[in-house]
Amino acid sequence: MEGYSVKKIKNLYQYDITYLVSESKEEGFQFLERLVTDYKNGTNTFKVVGESIYGVFNNDGVLIAIGGVNVDPYSQKQNIGRLRRFYVSRAYRRIGIGRVLLKEIIRNAKTYYNVLVLHTDTEQANKFYTSLGFLRKNAYPKSTHFMSLK
């Protein structure tokens, strides 16, 4: 997508995420604040093999979207990844930013996982994820959607 770049984030501290955290909290979402907290205390730094976090940056280098994948902590089965901390700034929604970010996450997740799961509780997110091939079915613990990657 022209004017934007998707990058794997190796160190969250290199980027200013405060705006996204603040905006997400205004919308009633706590998961980006949890991302920062977990990253700081070391409980989730996306450093386990197969885990990664990505950002979408505009031409000015501003982080406008973020999302990652972890080994699914709720499943006893191996090779299941969980989409985590996925958020697109309001000003950049409905122009393909989320789609580009999610496709990059899926492309890389295929190397490590057979299934990708997620949990959402909004209808807008449900429509977004199902439009990209996720099935809405509670087939895995604490998930609302899944996608077979193999």
Domain extent listing, the chain: 4-148
Report the percentage of the chain scoring pLDDT > 90. 95
In terms of Cα–Cα distance, which of 53, 54, 50, 55 is closest to 73? 50
Q: What is the CATH number of domain 4-148?
A: 3.40.630.30
Average pLDDT over residues 130-134: 97
pLDDT band at 76 (very low <50, low <70, confident <90, very high): confident
Which is it for the CA torsion 88, 137, 111, 71, positive or negative?
positive
Contact between 120 and 126 under an 8 Å Cβ cutoff? The reply is: yes
Query: Residue range 54-65: average pLDDT?
Result: 96
> Does the pLDDT value for residue 35 go beyond 90?
yes
Please name which of 81, 66, 84 lies closest in space to residue 8, comparing C-alpha atoms: 66
Report the b/e string of 4-14 with b at 16+ CB within 10 A. Answer: bebeebeebee
Specify the pTM.
0.95
Q: How high is the pLDDT of residue 59?
A: 93
Residue 26's pLDDT is what? 97
Phi-psi region of 40 (alpha: psi -120 to 50; beta: other; left: phi over 0): alpha
30 or 76, greater pLDDT = 30
Cβ(83)–Cβ(32) below 8 Å: no
